[in-house]
Amino acid sequence: MGEPIALFPVPELDPAAFAAAQHEVFRGRKLRIGRSGTVHAVGETEWINGLTLPAPACHQGWSGLGAAGDLVPTDHEATCRKCRRLRGLPSLEEASGQGTLFTLG
Ligand SMILES: [Zn+2]
């Protein structure tokens, strides 16, 4: 699930338009970092000109910006412990222990 982001930052790119497009890509979704199997909730990080870009909600570090294709949007349920806690979600252990499937928006 999820497709790499094709956009790559170029000097003539309008930063505001780029940031808006990035937020649009991740709106209502989750993200993975590169090939990591961990799914993070989407937060944002300060970029330039007072703009923000999508980033792991837990502020997990990664090299580069989403623009470079390091962040991959996904609709998978968040598996990052920190992100789940930040979003007020039960731990995966609790969730599986209850034997219920969660519908996460
Ligand atoms: Zn996370």
* Mean pLDDT of each 10-residue bin along the chain, 105 residues long: 57 85 95 92 92 93 66 94 95 71 54
For residue 49, report the distance from its CA to the centre of ligand 1, in Å. Answer: 25
Q: Report the pLDDT value the prediction gives residue 6, as an integer from 0 to 100.
A: 58
Using the mean position of ligand 1's atoms as its centre, give its distance from the Cα of residue 91 in Å: 13
Neighbours of 9 (CB within 10 A): 12
Question: What ranges do the domains of the chain cover?
Answer: 15-97
Give me ligand 1 centre to Cα 16, in Å.
Answer: 25
Read off φ and ψ for residue 54, nearest 5 degrees: -60, 145
Is the distance from CB of 11 to CB of 85 less than 8 angstroms?
Answer: no
Cα–Cα distance for residue pair 105/102, rounded to 1 Å: 9
At 35 the pLDDT is 85
Does pTM top 0.75 for this prediction?
A: no
Per-residue confidence (pLDDT) for residue 33, from 0 to 100 = 92
Q: State in Å: Cα 36 to ligand 1 middle.
A: 11
What is the pLDDT, as a whole number, of residue 13?
A: 77
Distance 94 CA to ligand 1 centre (A): 18
pLDDT at res. 95: 73
